[in-house]
Chains A and B, each alone.
Chain A
Amino acid sequence: AAGVIQSPRHLIKEKRETATLKCYPIPRHDTVYWYQQGPGQDPQFLISFYEKMQSDKGSIPDRFSAQQFSDYHSELNMSSLELGDSALYFCASSLRTGSPQETQYFGPGTRLLVL
């Protein structure tokens, strides 16, 4: 079965540079979530989109922005990168069913290293 695709898998940037992470959800899934996992930490929710509209916002810095496109893929744009942005960035997707039993399926993640 098709899974969530993320690109790139690895990214090395320098401080103050910009990075763009891409996420392609499972076909027919309409909701996308972004999570950040720092070293030795649990994944933290950043932002989510449902039907191309921002749905919820977590602990996402103002330097970051994201959007969901008409084909449901999503991009996370990160500007003025800081050393502390080095982390694993996961995208997850789900299909909105209206019930509380909405399972999120995760991509393999993008490992960002800021030097």
Chain B
Amino acid sequence: DQQVKQNSPSLSVQEGRISILNCDYTNSMFDYFLWYKKYPAEGPTFLISISSIKDKNEDGRFTVFLNKSAKHLSLHIVPSQPGDSAVYFCAASARRIQGAQKLVFGQGTRLTINP
């Protein structure tokens, strides 16, 4: 049961253009969403996050949009740069009264930025 889905395994974008990565989720209890970037042989690097009380969060070239009614979020990267080429994971967590908040990951999208 894949609670977080990234339906595009790969995405190719021209340098300087906008990259849009999409993520859907099914669990309505999720209230915190994160995007991680991962290079081969390295751990996921935190990029940007958004709380369920917001619909947009921006940090430099990265913007995350959340549509709760559609259970959909997207990561926009503009302008895209060659160094952005990596696998991007969408992750979600649900607040717990006790205990740590485990992350549920999507399958990842491999982004390639072409010069």
Contacts and interface: CB of A to CB of B under 8 A. Distances in A.
A31 B98 CA distance: 13
Interface size class of A (residues with CB under 8 A): 20 to 34
Given A42-B89, A42-B108, A43-B89, A104 B42 contact: no
Given A33-B100, A100-B101, A103-B34, A108 B43 contact: yes
Interface in A80-115: 90, 92, 94, 96, 100-109, 111
Nearest to B48: A103
Interface in A45-93: 45, 48-50, 55-56, 58, 90, 92
A21 interface: no
Given A48-B100, A103-B34, A42 B106 contact: yes
A53 to B, nearest CB: 9
B102 A56 contact: yes
Given A50-B99, A55-B100, A56-B99, A101 B32 contact: yes
Contacts of A56: 96, 99-100, 102
B43 A101 contact: no
B22 interface: no
Interface residues of B, number: 28
B32 A106 contact: no
B52 to A, nearest CB: 8
B51 interface: yes
B100 A50 contact: yes
B85 interface: no
8 contacts: A6-B43, A33-B103, A44-B105, A50-B99, A50-B100, A55-B100, A58-B102, A100-B93
Interface of A: 4, 6, 31, 33, 35, 41-45, 48-50, 55-56, 58, 90, 92, 94, 96, 100-109, 111
